[in-house]
A and B are shown apart, each in its own frame.
Chain A
């Protein structure tokens, strides 16, 4: 019988996972939280360093003289401008300019790229590679990956890496030796903090884990599960496939689909890049005419929400973690959108959400109301459209 897979770090992560809180991610078991409460894991990301097993990410290697052309054609970024050692975040669309998936593209050398994604994309890549000199292989299982996120992450890596990381800029990558093991390290992550992702041969996974845990002890390194990661990514204003948007390939109906503009990815859509790319026409049209929807951040007014709970004699009752649920957003009693993920932000002491709003309600500063359930009754808490990311520390890019 087919079973869910363990990641190459399972021997370590399973020994540490106190609450047996496992989650499924792309066919793998991953830790939801290592401790009985997520607080310390969340704060490790924000104040020290959190070590996260992100192996279940889909990973593809694209090799050949046309590898760049393929990615240039599939994604919305100008891949021909990319230098070796650079990493791009990008989405990719169907012909109607609707998002299929999103991930990172890393240029390992002139003709080699690594692409990550949330869901399988090999068929889509191959369909677009017809006539191109490129070899596409999936390395999801053979390449293990760890994400080390937080203000102390660089100090820890510098303790154990052969080459110093001080010069590694935001969204760049380097080859390195970590505790004697060949790794590739990119300055990327899903937390909006200083952080790195480490890519290694799956066989070396345990060695790298142990080296980092030992070197990081004095710097507060903490294994972090995906529940705490979910809170951090909301603060960072980063969305998630299947939670905050639906892949156009999976959508039942048109309205479930989103364009990169509607998700706030304007900066990743290089309409000025030369040549054809998938979705170009539709995206050009949307750019001209404006988007019907937009993903924005909203901040729920805590005092206003407190009042709604006070009516029934209770303090606010929201979970201390991220909530993946659809919550209607209203203006003047009429629904104008919905929130797709909400989270208490322990750092900001605010209740925040990623929301999808219709034109013109997505403008910054718009007063809206978000539906909450107070003692089984639907109420609408006052909220405001704010700029994303909610949290943007200056050391993220420094």
Chain B
């Protein structure tokens, strides 16, 4: 069967693919999204793995989803609700804990309990990071200029960036230069002394990377995660109603309302290229679909090395993509619970269950977990970021029961001897026994669980290497270098073929910007 009446085909029904489809459809284009699986969402899905218990299978919180996308696509009218996660609680080995709240004074007093010096540093640190983030945040909302290019467009872009940086004081500029190269640990240790605070803060510097908190350049990742902070109450930070699948559903509903078509169980085998131009796709079932433009929201590896014949691409691009770091380093353990875990550090307090719980007692703890990963093992005592979706959105579990989402690092994709069921089970066990040290009732509360390794992320969500960001958020893989130098502008060497996924600028996380930018470029190119 051949159909030839689409303006654009979007490969992949993850959140970026859906955002691209919605923007194109909104502009009056006839678009079709082709999703390999039987459900949309990609790595932004919620599935009822155990009846009655809804698991946010992969991604679990949202922090950077652009508010303009929410408004443009009218996502609230399509069911999007982003609910607050008011606290972060870190149990400590001595039976105490340290918590951060959504109230400034409460947080300051809590830190003061551990270190009066840290309590003050906390204020100054927050302001410094917010100012730095504000200075570089505009980068997120513009197409990345290429600093080696002399084209007026790129020069203008660079000039704009220069202007943003000029809002910083000299001292702050030095600070920015340092952050671009430092490790998260080095930077944080300049500010704080409380181990559990350092551990918890450093964790934001390693999420989704194959690096430890003492690896250079992790400080920047920390700053990257700070971008959302400056919008304060006006940003989209929290837990989405219905889990992250709720986000994908709302974007899909919006895209459909604008006229986009979404096909499930439609695996693309190859992009059809004629005369150096992408003209359509061939599906695994033999169907061919033609369109004026093809957007791939798959990762760069799939987009450039699997979906198109390499003869259409320059060698240096192929080389760069092959070297693009997409090693997955994290897994998920999703658990159905008969009761909430009771933490030794705060046995009767349920308020903290509404926020995140972080197993990150110190920087060394996380660095040791990384040591395991470096040598091809999953961490025996991993960093864990837990949330209890049913405490935030009661519809996630049957009344009186709960679900728990554990993001776990490190679990290397390339584990020694390869992943198998035994290793997956052992990985899950290391997570449970780690939690058990802080919440002894966890084991008896478990009704069922789902353990996800990077290999499972690759298998289920189709992301090469199982990297949650479609490629690590490292400086050399960002901005005008994401995914490759000279090809960071969503266009590819093949006319009419675009990269619209997290492997493009500005990167991963449920942000939607790659999909939006790619769609805007397609429209600009007059398709």
Question: Using a CB–CB distance below 8 Å, which chain A residues touch chain B?
Answer: 36-37, 39-40, 43, 46-48, 152, 218-220, 302-303, 313, 315-316, 318, 320, 344, 346-350, 391
Contacts and interface: CB of A to CB of B under 8 A. Distances in A.
Contact of B81 (A40, A47, A315, A318): A47
B76 A349 contact: yes
Given A36-B103, A347-B81, A316 B241 contact: no
Contacts of A303: 68
A36 B105 CA distance: 10
B71 A218 contact: no
Contacts of B81: 43, 46-47, 347
Interface string B232-252: 111010000100000000000
A36 B102 CA distance: 8
Contacts of B458: none
Interface in B63-115: 67-68, 70-71, 76, 81-84, 86, 101-103, 106
B230 interface: yes
A391 B231 CA distance: 23
Interface of B: 67-68, 70-71, 76, 81-84, 86, 101-103, 106, 134, 167, 230-234, 236, 241, 354, 393-394, 399-400
A39 B394 contact: no
Given A313-B167, A347-B76, A40 B84 contact: yes
Contact of B234 (A37, A219, A220, A316): A316
B84 A348 contact: no
Contacts of B236: 349
A43 B394 CA distance: 12
A303 B67 CA distance: 10
Nearest to B70: A349
Contacts of B106: 36
Contacts of A346: 82, 233
Looking at B68, B71, B354, B400, the one whose CB has the most chain A CB atoms below 10 A away is B71
B354 A348 contact: no
B399 A219 contact: yes
15 contacts: A36-B101, A39-B86, A40-B354, A43-B83, A47-B241, A48-B394, A219-B394, A219-B399, A220-B394, A315-B134, A315-B232, A320-B233, A320-B234, A346-B233, A347-B76
Nearest to A390: B76
Nearest to B67: A349
A350 B84 contact: no
A302 B234 CA distance: 10
Contacts of A302: 67-68, 71, 234
B42 to A, nearest CB: 23
Contacts of B71: 302, 348-350
B68 A47 contact: no
Looking at B67, B82, B394, the one whose CB has the most chain A CB atoms below 10 A away is B394
A47 B86 contact: no
Given A39-B86, A349-B236, 20 more contacts: A36-B101, A36-B102, A37-B103, A39-B233, A40-B86, A43-B81, A43-B83, A47-B81, A47-B83, A48-B393, A48-B394, A302-B71, A303-B68, A315-B231, A320-B233, A320-B234, A346-B233, A347-B81, A348-B76, A349-B67
A346 B241 CA distance: 13
